[in-house]
A and B are shown apart, each in its own frame.
Chain A
Amino acid sequence: MATFGVLAEFKSPADLYRACERVRDAGYTRWDAHSPFPVHGLEGAMGMKRSKLPWIILVMALGGAATGFLLQTWVHSMAYPLTISGKPHFAWPAYVPITFELGVLGGALAAVFGMFGLNQLPRHHHPLFESARFARFSDDAFFISIEAVDPMFDAAAASKLLHGAGASHVEIVEDLP
């Protein structure tokens, strides 16, 4: 079976943080850190770029708001205009609540489903789940995985680097068949 990569376990967030800096500095690009909770500052330690999600959210929020405003304007000024409580047909102040709410909905849906999309979730099958020790990532253990598809990858060199960075356990993980 092909190798998926190397998985190293660490005992604390501090250990994980320092190890990530080493892996980043060594020049790896296809690798990841795993923790039961987000470790503060780890994006910097991993050399990650800022997420693009805020832009997606902004566009969808504005889109939602625009949809709401245009729908109401069209309904009350063009589709079936009615004079209600003596106000003009284009009663824009009264359109504000729904416009705002739809903007928020657009933003929220973008945040959640955009996040799922960018994370490529759901993905129920992943080589790392085959590792018995990995199950503790959701409890109190911290991991780094370096994938075999990384251009620099060499199982022995990666293991050595991770041991040197303070890993308490290193294992090779096989890919899914």
Chain B
Amino acid sequence: MSHDSSRPALRREDVTIPAGHVLTRLPWIGAGVGAVGLVTAFVLRPGDPKQFAFSWLFAFLFFLSLALGALYFVLIHFATQAGWGIVVRRLAENTMAILPLFAVLFIPLLLGMGELFPWVQGIAEGKNHVLSGKAPYLNTSFFVIRAVVYFTCWSAIAMYFFRRSRGQDSSAAHAISVGLRRLSGPAVIVLALTQTFAAVDWIMSLDPYWYSTIFGVYWFAGSFVSFFALMTLMVVRLRRAGFLTKIVGLDHFHDLGKLLFAFTVFWAYIGFSQYFLIWYGNIPEETIFFRHRLEGSWTAVSLLLAAGHFIIPFFFFMPRTIKRKPGLLALGASWMLAMHAVDLYWLIMPVMHPHGVAVTLLDVAAFLAVGGLFFGALSWMMLGSPLVPVGDPRLPESLSFENV
């Protein structure tokens, strides 16, 4: 692997999951859970197609945001030539490689468009002049075309980076690193724009009268935090299973902890900016968004979001000792994933259930459906290549990384 004997050597057993290992069952478990969820959801669908659409949207966006967060991580990693994270980059690459699957998972949403978006009906009726004003953007055909563009861009970028990185495992060609670095800049711009407009299309237009210029950034912030949470959990779980033990060390965990802390604060900053400016300006067109989320039991959810997505993790991820204990980090990471789910639920569901929280079986079924398939696909990707980009010329730097 390297010529210099003073650098730590990589052993095959550390980075490959052998056939027959219990982890190889994961894709099947995922597929199984997904199938159960799918069947249940589709069985329940005819009874309440609107709830189906909303539940599916929630589950879809939750897992999509993890995959998009992974894509951001990989692109930013290449663009900044970060050194510490090379050992965990392959896990992110596996997560982002699932993006093409989301194009398929989007289909139920396309079918349920009329249930989700008031503007579909509103523009068809032609009676509402505000919605008609938005018709050049909010019309069914353009909506579909945009979705096709998003998935094409995301899949193309993700698969290109994924394949080149895997190819580097055997070739160790440094030209690949240089090429990916050069491409990562423009790719991030494309990703930022498509992800922003996806947020506008799929979340913001649920209430087509409302608008916020920071909304794309808000969804990005939540996605990024939850991706780091997912990555932390993946690393901890793999280490517990005996892999990556000499590769990912306490210093890498420390960095993951710092990133979890930093982006928790970033999310809070963006979220508070949005809330505060709308509160202060007190313009009814804008404040209605928060009025809806302070109705009935939604108030409790709003408070939970502020306390649980910001205040608690802020103090939890601050101490150095916690960031260097993988077990505690994993606990915090699970909590952050749960909070991201609360965040998305709080964004989406009040449109359908304005008077209070109403968790239904469809919510669970859709979540299991999308989640199971996501998880199955992710594990399958993970089994397909070494757990670490073994051919990366800068891998030794990451292996010998030491934190302050």
Assess whether B275 is interfacial by the CB under 8 Å rule: yes
Segment from B115-123, B232-240, B276-284 that makes contact with A? B276-284
Tier of interface size on chain B: under 10
Are B272 and A85 in contact (CB-based, < 8 A)?
Answer: no
Assess whether A96 is interfacial by the CB under 8 Å rule: yes
A104 to B107, CA, bound (A): 49
Name the residue of chain A whose CB is nearest to the CB of B272.
A96
Looking at A85, A86, A93, A94, which has the most chain B CB atoms within 10 Å of its CB? A93
A93 to B272, CA, bound (A): 9
Are B275 and A93 in contact (CB-based, < 8 A)?
Answer: yes
Are B279 and A93 in contact (CB-based, < 8 A)?
Answer: yes
Are B276 and A85 in contact (CB-based, < 8 A)?
Answer: no
Q: Which residues of B contact A86 (CB under 8 A)?
A: 282
276-301 of chain B: CB within 8 A of chain A: 276, 279-280, 282
Q: Which residues of A contact B275 (CB under 8 A)?
A: 93
A105 to B225, CA, bound (A): 28
A86 to B287, CA, bound (A): 14
Are A93 and B280 in contact (CB-based, < 8 A)?
Answer: yes
User: Count the A-B residue pairs with Cβ separation under 8 angstroms: how many?
Assistant: 12
Name the residue of chain A whose CB is nearest to the CB of B277.
A93
Name the residue of chain A whose CB is nearest to the CB of B320.
A54
Are A93 and B276 in contact (CB-based, < 8 A)?
Answer: yes
Q: Say how far B303's CB is from chain A's closest CB, in angstroms.
A: 13
A87 to B276, CA, bound (A): 13
Are B279 and A85 in contact (CB-based, < 8 A)?
Answer: no
A93 to B278, CA, bound (A): 11
Are A94 and B272 in contact (CB-based, < 8 A)?
Answer: no
Q: Which residues of B contact A87 (CB under 8 A)?
A: 282
Q: Say how far A99's CB is from chain B's closest CB, in angstroms.
A: 12
Q: Which residues of B contact A93 (CB under 8 A)?
A: 272, 275-276, 279-280
Name the residue of chain A whose CB is nearest to the CB of B275.
A93
Q: Which residues of B contact A94 (CB under 8 A)?
A: 280
A96 to B275, CA, bound (A): 12
Q: Which residues of A contact B282 (CB under 8 A)?
A: 85-87
A93 to B275, CA, bound (A): 9
72-111 of chain A: CB within 8 A of chain B: 85-87, 93-94, 96
Q: Say how far B364's CB is from chain A's closest CB, in angstroms.
A: 35
Q: Say how far A150's CB is from chain B's closest CB, in angstroms.
A: 30
Q: Which residues of A contact B279 (CB under 8 A)?
A: 93
Q: Say how far A115's CB is from chain B's closest CB, in angstroms.
A: 17
Q: Which residues of A contact B276 (CB under 8 A)?
A: 93, 96
A93 to B279, CA, bound (A): 8
A85 to B281, CA, bound (A): 9
Q: Say how far A65's CB is from chain B's closest CB, in angstroms.
A: 12
A87 to B282, CA, bound (A): 9
Q: Say how far A43's CB is from chain B's closest CB, in angstroms.
A: 11
A10 to B144, CA, bound (A): 71
91-146 of chain A: CB within 8 A of chain B: 93-94, 96
A85 to B283, CA, bound (A): 12
A65 to B272, CA, bound (A): 17
A96 to B277, CA, bound (A): 12
142-177 of chain A: CB within 8 A of chain B: none
A88 to B254, CA, bound (A): 43
Name the residue of chain A whose CB is nearest to the CB of B404.
A40
Q: Which residues of B contact A96 (CB under 8 A)?
A: 272, 276
A86 to B282, CA, bound (A): 9
Q: Say how far B110's CB is from chain A's closest CB, in angstroms.
A: 39
A104 to B370, CA, bound (A): 43
Q: Which residues of B contact A85 (CB under 8 A)?
A: 280, 282
Name the residue of chain A whose CB is nearest to the CB of B276.
A93
Q: Say how far A82's CB is from chain B's closest CB, in angstroms.
A: 16
Q: Say how far A24's CB is from chain B's closest CB, in angstroms.
A: 20
A110 to B200, CA, bound (A): 44
A94 to B279, CA, bound (A): 9
A31 to B276, CA, bound (A): 54
A86 to B275, CA, bound (A): 17
Interface string of B264-275 (1 = CB under 8 A from A): 000000001001
A93 to B280, CA, bound (A): 9
A87 to B272, CA, bound (A): 18
Q: Say how far A36's CB is from chain B's closest CB, in angstroms.
A: 19
Q: Say how far B232's CB is from chain A's closest CB, in angstroms.
A: 24
Name the residue of chain B whose CB is nearest to the CB of A58.
B318
Interface string of B16-28 (1 = CB under 8 A from A): 0000000000000
Name the residue of chain B whose CB is nearest to the CB of A87.
B282
Q: Which residues of A contact B272 (CB under 8 A)?
A: 93, 96
A62 to B276, CA, bound (A): 22
A85 to B280, CA, bound (A): 8
Q: Say how far B66's CB is from chain A's closest CB, in angstroms.
A: 30
Q: Say how far A8's CB is from chain B's closest CB, in angstroms.
A: 28
Known pairs A93-B280, A96-B276; list 10 more (Cβ under 8 Å). A85-B280, A85-B282, A86-B282, A87-B282, A93-B272, A93-B275, A93-B276, A93-B279, A94-B280, A96-B272
- A-B contact list, 12 entries, CB within 8 Å: A85-B280, A85-B282, A86-B282, A87-B282, A93-B272, A93-B275, A93-B276, A93-B279, A93-B280, A94-B280, A96-B272, A96-B276
4 pairs of A and B residues whose beta carbons are closest in the complex = A93-B276, A93-B279, A86-B282, A85-B282
